Structure 1
Amino acid sequence: MLTFEQKQQIFARFDELEEKSVSMGRLNYHFEGSKREKTLVIKHLHPNGNAWLYAPFLERDDLDKEGYLNIRDLSESEIEQLLKEAIGYLSTDGDPYQEGFYEWYQDGNGDALKLSYENKMWIIYTGENVEAVFPTREAALGYLADEGFQD
């Protein structure tokens, strides 16, 4: 197991992490540039070398209920890789669609509607007029299907 100091040196290599002292001599490391609600990447680096790394992107059974992985017995390279992945994960808002994304849908009569992603909402346009607005893509696609439109 890596020591407290060894883990502290690993975390210090990541300029985007900010070290903050917490109780009982423990340290937390925050990523203030996070595009998600979470900024805490390393939780409770303890003087005994134990620590938790935020990794909800991993599909593992040993994550705690908040998505943290115990890194007590991980190697330096494993910790570095997980830190890179965690910062990468927190650097995105998790939205798979970019602002301005759009698709065209047609019905059997040749009429066309545009489905556009704007301000985290799905908007259906008839020409330049708004036909409908939906909070999810699935709801918008359901509406289009009900109205006989396909991509």
Structure 2
Amino acid sequence: MKKKKEIIDRFTELTAKPISLNRVNYHYPESQREKTILVKHLHPNGNGFIYAPYLEGETELDKEGYVNIYEASEEELTELIQKAIDFMNTDEAGFAEGEARFYQDQDKNILKLVYENKVWIVYDFDNVEAVFKSLEQAESYLSDEGFFEEKA
């Protein structure tokens, strides 16, 4: 566990909470999802689990969406933790708070589409132009108004 604990402790955004049998859970308090336990049941023998429902179909997960890390290398463990954090930074719809996209019309006018508080808001500079419950509704509106997403 010592080596894995050292690796996990590098992620300062995680909070360690001791549980029974000398095991430790690591919570991600900034999670945009209901689940905050990112590392579950890290045992002194190096066994434990990382929240990884994004791996469904690629590897074996338990019923709560955790993958076993007993045989994970340092590189694999680091990658799993970072991907879990990235996943937990998105809500159940898969969008991160503050996610922004830019749209432009043929006259070079620019509107910004931002995901805030589980809705999509169209901004014209700092002014709210429209609010939509889904990305599809927002993009349909923008298309109808002659705006198309700027490609990076």
Which TM-score band applies after superposition, normalised by the shorter structure? 0.5 to 0.7
Alignment match of 1:83 (pick from 57, 81, 84): 81
Query: In the aligned structure 2, how far is the partner of 1:57 from the partner of 1:26?
Result: 25
- Which residue, 35, 41, 44 being the options, matches 2:41? 44
5+ residue gaps, structure 1, are 104-115, 123-132, 141-151
Q: Which amino acid aligns with 1:62?
A: E
- Give the match for residue 71 of structure 1: 69
Structure 2 counterpart SS, 1:41:
strand
Q: Where in structure 2 are the equivalents of 1:12-31 lying within 5 Å? A: 12-31=9-28
**1:63 aligned counterpart, secondary structure:** coil
Q: 1:95, CA displacement in angstroms?
A: 2.8
Alpha-carbon contact 2:89-2:96 (below 8 Å) kept: no
1:22 partner letter: I
Q: 2:106 maps to what in 1?
A: none
Q: State how far apart, in whole Å, the 1-side matches of 2:29 and 2:97 are.
A: 23
5+ residue gaps, structure 2: 104-112, 122-130, 139-152
Partner of residue 128, structure 1? none
**TM-score, normalization: structure 1?**
0.64
TM-score after normalising by structure 2: 0.64
Q: How does 1:1-151 map to 2 (within 5 A)?
A: 4-59=1-56, 60-93=58-91, 94-95=94-95, 120=119
Is the alpha carbon distance of 1:24 and 1:90 closer, same or farther for their aligned partners in structure 2, counting shifts above 3 Å? same
Whole-angstrom distance in 1 between the partners of 2:100 and 2:42:
42
Question: Deviation at 1:136?
Answer: 5.6
Query: Alignment partner of 2:81: what SS?
Result: helix
Deviation at 1:21, TM superposition (A): 0.4
* 1:24–1:56 Cα change, 3 Å: same
In structure 2, the CA distance between the partners of 1:97 and 1:22, relative to structure 1 (3 Å rule), is closer
Structure with larger Rg:
1
Letter in 2 for 1:26: R
| Structure 1 residues 90-142: Cα deviation after superposition (integer angstroms, max 9, x where no partner) | 112223897898x9xxxxxxxxxxxx9987389xxxxxxxxxx99666799xx
Relative to 1, partners in 2 of residues 1:14 and 1:66: Cα closer, same or farther, differing over 3 Å? same
Q: Secondary structure at the match of 2:53?
A: coil
Q: 2:120·2:134 contact (CA, 8 Å) conserved in 1? A: yes
User: Partner of 2:17: helix, strand, or coil?
Assistant: strand
